[in-house]
Amino acid sequence: MFMYVFSCQYSQNKNKTSSNKKQNISNKMKKTEVEWKRSLTDQEYRILREKGTERAFIGKYDGHFEEGVYECAGCGSKLFQSETKYRSGCGWPAFYDAIPGAIEEHDDNTLGMRRIEITCSKCDGHLGHVFNDGPKPTGLRYCVNSVSMDFQPGKK
């Protein structure tokens, strides 16, 4: 465990150092808030850009279990494979794993809770939160707003 944490931190530091040297390091999608407002629906904007949360059990992908890939509604980046989706009963789509590199995690201490917010690593859109009460093999529960995602059937 220690080795894992160490190597993980090491590679993060390495990335930071090397990325600082380059001028144009980020492949993030940068848009102004006006541009986002134009390209998203009101509901998507409220959740992706203003970190809102859709009501539990009403999201279009909560009970959706087709084969395919879930993409970011903001930028189209692939986020989750359908194989990792499971019935958590929490009222939002839940996955036990994300596509590598697709997601960034941030400490979120709002609403008097300590949670880890997840965002799209490409466009920084708010997706939901990740909790450590998920099933094996990861033990993680990526709890995601349906509004933050688009589904592409059959694609990997």
Q: Does residue 72 contact residue 79 with C-beta atoms inside 8 Å?
A: yes
Residue whose CB is less far from Zn ion, 74 or 128? 74
Residue whose CB is less far from Zn ion, 53 or 77? 77
Task: Indicate which residue of 72, 120, 123, 143 is catalytic.
Answer: 143
Residues 112-131 that bind Zn ion (CB under 5 A): 120, 122-123, 125
d(CA 39, CA 28): 17
Please give the order of strands across the beta sheet that includes 68-72. Answer: 78-81, 68-72, 149-153
Residue 120 known to be catalytic: no
Please count the other Cβ atoms lying within 10 Å of the Cβ belonging to residue 133.
Answer: 11
Residues 18-57 that bind Zn ion (CB under 5 A): none
Alpha helices (runs of H) in the chain, residue ranges in sequence order: 2-21, 33-39, 42-44
Letter for the amino acid at 12? Answer: Q
Residue whose CB is less far from Zn ion, 50 or 133? 50
Residue whose CB is less far from Zn ion, 75 or 90? 75
d(CA 79, CA 88): 18
Question: Nearest approach, Cβ of 123 to Zn ion (angstroms)?
Answer: 3
104 binds Zn ion (CB under 5 A): no
Question: Nearest approach, Cβ of 155 to Zn ion (angstroms)?
Answer: 17
Task: Enumerate the active-site residues.
Answer: 143
Residues binding Zn ion (CB under 5 A): 72, 74-75, 77, 120, 122-123, 125
